Structure 1
Amino acid sequence: VVAVDRDPESAARTAQEARRAGAPAAWAEPADVSDEQAMEKLAERVTTEYGVVDVLVNNAGIGLGGSFFDTTPEDWKQVLDVNLWGVIHGCRLFGRRMAERGQGGHIVNVASAAAYQPTRALPAYSTSKAAVLMLSECLRAELAGQGIGVTAICPGFVNTAITSTARFAGVDAEEERRLQKRAARLYGLRNYPPEKVAAAILRGVVRDAAVVPVTPEARVAYALSRWMPGALRRIARVKSPV
């Protein structure tokens, strides 16, 4: 296991937890997925030191809430740089090496139920995740003949630190902190653990699933997006309690 995070301590902690969980070996590599040059150096270093990865998981993401008209170009750039370009960099640099090796592999891109469930509260975040979902579908089609599977994971409300670090457009710092605390509290009450998402990722790789909605609400929204999209559009108009 090679754990990558722009925070070296977080990467080291993840690698340590992987070893405790039984991974034969786990290393930490610091890198910012939105930085193309940093990712190129990471891919070269990982390949040189550990070999071509068998399973790639593009998981880094940041949250941003707020009205479309309150979301600045800089807000858009920050979200897309991490949530979309980070995935593109990972797929391009590590996926190419998988393809050149010629022994198959699997790419997992963590999207979100927001990829197919529109909402007035998350225009930038939802757009970034919808792009990740479509990228995954296109890449899956391209790599199918090379034995490389591609899976898009679409969680719903999961109790992770993304809620306490999410940003909110159009509000001052004090209101943003209040909204962060409220979101973290609501997600904490929901208390769907990230370990269940990890288990869904493993199942998705084993089964070579194209799209894996995780959490009950994500599965309901996915079904509605296919069979009753009008219902989702009406739900999208409801103002978020957060």
Structure 2
Amino acid sequence: TGAGSGIGRATALAFAEQGADVVVCDVDAEAAERTAVLARLLGGAAHAYRVDVSDGAAVDAFAADVAAAHGVPDIVVNNAGIGHSGTFLDTTEEEWRRVLDVNLWGVIHGCRAFGRLLAERGEGGHIVNVASAAAYLPSKILAAYATSKAAVFMLSDCLRAELAPARVGVSTICPGVVNTNITRTSTFSGQSGEKLAATRERVARLYARRGFPPEKVAAEILRAVRDRRPVVPVTWEAKAARVLSRVAPGVLRAAARVNPGG
């Protein structure tokens, strides 16, 4: 899911390069089709669908269509997500719903629709849920986003235990700062118009300067599936935060109080 750009597109192409047939979806149908075209150039079959992952009925229909037309997939990657920055008190109910509908409910819908198919098929398989280092790295300006990703992290742990008897693996991918276009579509509490556009541009430049490409995340996703790894932090900051979350969580809690930029 979310295969029209960024990590989703890079992952689809990485699997295609390994000889997999891929089915991609995105809320942007044209972007999904562009990814499918690129995947076909690598030699495999590729099919594109328009799907809004926040719509449970649409995801159920998508899963049924995929199974009927292409067979039950061996690997499912729940990647679609959106960004939002804002403190808890500044984040509106509408903003909370938007973030949770896509980042959490989108993963729930994907896991439920395809997880059932995989379990009933009885031939094993793998589900990949793309979370974030924000799942275990608290920040007072990422209240909704971090909450959504932490929920995906725990959902994956629960689902992994449930699907183990069916030989269906579940991997949680936790990237840090990755240079994708999520920054150009992210929302910021209390900002609109020119101010929002300026903030998006500033953050996009920071992510671009970090220079960590989505293709490196895709490579970690392939490795996670191959080795059936449960949790995969990606980028040095995600790995460092993961270690601190386990051995010195108080350090992360203290850091969360600091205002970004000083």
- Specify the TM-score bucket, using the shorter chain as the normaliser: over 0.9
1:11 corresponds to which residue?
32
Q: CA deviation at 1:19?
A: 1.9
Selected match of 2:239 from 207, 211, 219? 219
In structure 1, runs of 5+ residues without a counterpart are: none
TM-score (structure 1 length as normaliser)? 0.97
Deviations 1:75-111 (A, max 9, x none): 0000000000000000000110000000000000000
1:121 aligns with 2:145: no
- For the Cα contact (< 8 Å) 1:154–1:213, is it kept in 2? yes
% identical aligned pairs:
59
Selected match of 1:32 from 46, 52, 71? 52
Deviations 1:129-181 (A, max 9, x none): 00000000000011111100000000000000001110001223222111100
2:80 corresponds to which residue?
60
Number of equivalenced pairs: 241
- For the Cα contact (< 8 Å) 1:67–1:170, is it kept in 2? no
Q: Secondary structure at the match of 1:92?
A: helix
Q: CA deviation at 1:70?
A: 1.1
1:94 corresponds to which residue?
114
1:83 corresponds to which residue?
103
1:186 corresponds to which residue?
206
Q: Which moved more, 1:38-47 or 1:123-132?
A: 38-47
Deviations 1:188-237 (A, max 9, x none): 00010000000000000011111000001100000000001011111111
Selected match of 2:179 from 134, 159, 162? 159
- For the Cα contact (< 8 Å) 1:108–1:152, is it kept in 2? yes
Which residue identity lines up with residue 122 of structure 1 in the other structure? L
Task: Determine the C-alpha separation between the residues in 2 that align with 1:90 and 1:29.
Answer: 14
Deviations 1:16-60 (A, max 9, x none): 1222234x1111011100011111111111110001010000000
Q: Secondary structure at the match of 2:97?
A: helix
2:222 corresponds to which residue?
202
Q: Secondary structure at the match of 1:61?
A: coil
Task: Determine the C-alpha separation between the residues in 2 that align with 1:72 and 1:135.
Answer: 24
1:173 aligns with 2:193: yes
TM-score (structure 2 length as normaliser)? 0.90
Which residue identity lines up with residue 85 of structure 1 in the other structure? W
Q: Secondary structure at the match of 2:100?
A: helix
Selected match of 2:163 from 125, 128, 143? 143
1:50 aligns with 2:33: no
Task: Determine the C-alpha separation between the residues in 2 that align with 1:146 and 1:219.
Answer: 30
Task: Determine the C-alpha separation between the residues in 2 that align with 1:49 and 1:21.
Answer: 21
